[in-house]
Amino acid sequence: MRPLAALLCGALLSAGCTDLVSHGRDDPALEWARRYPVVPAPATLRPARGEFVLDGSTRLLLADPADPEVRSVAELLAAPLRAASGFPLPVSAAPASGPERNALVLRLAAELPGDSPERYRLSVTEQGAVLAAATPAGLFRGTQTLRQLLPPAVEEAVRARADWRGIAPARASTGRARWAVPAVEIEDAPRFAYRGMHLDVARHFMPPEFVKKYVDLLALYRFSHFHWHLTDDQGWRIEIRKHPRLTEVGAWRRETMVGRLGAAAGDGRPHGGFYTQAEVRDIVAYAAARHVTIVPEIEMPGHARAAIAAYPELSCSGAPVEVATGWGIHADVLCPSERTFAFLEDVLDEVMELFPGPYVHVGGDEVRKEQWAESPVAREVMRREGLAGVEALQTYFVGRVGRYLEAQGRRYVGWDEIAQGGIPPGAVVMSWRGMLPGIDAARRGHEVIMAPDTHLYFDHYQANPASEPLGIGNVIPLRVVYDFDPVPPDLGPGERERVLGGQGSVWTEHLRTPGEVEYMAFPRVIALSEALWTPVERRSWKSFQERLPAQLRRLDALGVRYRAP
Q: Is 539 helix (H, G, I), strand (E, B) or coil?
A: coil
**Which is nearer to ligand TNX, 156 or 200 (by Cβ)?**
200
CA-CA distance, 440 to 338, in Å (whole number)? 32
* Beta carbon of residue 112, minimum distance to ligand TNX (angstroms, whole number): 38
**Which is nearer to ligand TNX, 295 or 381 (by Cβ)?**
295
* Beta carbon of residue 470, minimum distance to ligand TNX (angstroms, whole number): 12
**Which is nearer to ligand TNX, 118 or 200 (by Cβ)?**
200
366 given a catalytic annotation: yes
The letter for the amino acid at 546 is E
Q: At what angle do helices 338-354 and 390-407 cross, to 10 degrees?
A: 40
The letter for the amino acid at 275 is Y
* Beta carbon of residue 227, minimum distance to ligand TNX (angstroms, whole number): 11
Residues 264, 461, 323: CA angle, nearest 5 degrees: 40
Under 8 Å CB-to-CB from 285, ≥6 apart: which residues?
none
Q: How many CB atoms lie within 10 A of CB 388?
A: 10
DSSP 222-267: T--EEEEE-EETTEE-B--TT-THHHHTTTEES--EESSTTS-EE-
* Beta carbon of residue 459, minimum distance to ligand TNX (angstroms, whole number): 5
DSSP 173-209: -------EEEEEEEEE--S-SEEEEEEE-SSS---HH
126 given a catalytic annotation: no
* Beta carbon of residue 327, minimum distance to ligand TNX (angstroms, whole number): 7
First and final CA of the chain: distance in angstroms?
28
DSSP 309-363: HH-GGGSSS----PPP-S-S--S-----SHHHHHHHHHHHHHHHHH--SSEEEEE
Q: Hey, which residues does 413 pair with through a beta bridge?
A: 361, 428
**Which is nearer to ligand TNX, 138 or 364 (by Cβ)?**
364
Alpha helices in 459-535 (DSSP H): 478-482, 514-521, 524-533
Given the residues 225, 227, 271, 303, the one annotated as active site: 303
**Which is nearer to ligand TNX, 223 or 415 (by Cβ)?**
415
CA-CA distance, 489 to 493, in Å (whole number)? 10
**Which is nearer to ligand TNX, 129 or 429 (by Cβ)?**
429
* Beta carbon of residue 230, minimum distance to ligand TNX (angstroms, whole number): 13
**Which is nearer to ligand TNX, 179 or 507 (by Cβ)?**
507
* Beta carbon of residue 72, minimum distance to ligand TNX (angstroms, whole number): 35
Given the residues 200, 232, 233, 459, the one annotated as active site: 232
* Beta carbon of residue 264, minimum distance to ligand TNX (angstroms, whole number): 14
**Which is nearer to ligand TNX, 212 or 305 (by Cβ)?**
305
CA-CA distance, 297 to 138, in Å (whole number)? 27
CA-CA distance, 352 to 184, in Å (whole number)? 42
Q: How many CB atoms lie within 10 A of CB 485?
A: 16
Under 8 Å CB-to-CB from 175, ≥6 apart: which residues?
153
* Beta carbon of residue 472, minimum distance to ligand TNX (angstroms, whole number): 4
**Which is nearer to ligand TNX, 179 or 236 (by Cβ)?**
236
Given the residues 100, 366, 406, 546, the one annotated as active site: 366
> How distant is the alpha carbon of residue 72 from its chain centre?
21
Q: How many CA atoms lie within 13 A of 94 on its CB side?
A: 25
* Beta carbon of residue 457, minimum distance to ligand TNX (angstroms, whole number): 5
Alpha helices in 408-513 (DSSP H): 436-443, 478-482
Tell me which H or E stretch contains 19.
helix 18-24
List of residues contacting ligand TNX (CB under 6 A): 365-366, 415, 432, 457, 459, 472, 507, 509
**Which is nearer to ligand TNX, 186 or 309 (by Cβ)?**
309
232 given a catalytic annotation: yes
Q: Return the active site residues.
A: 232, 303, 366
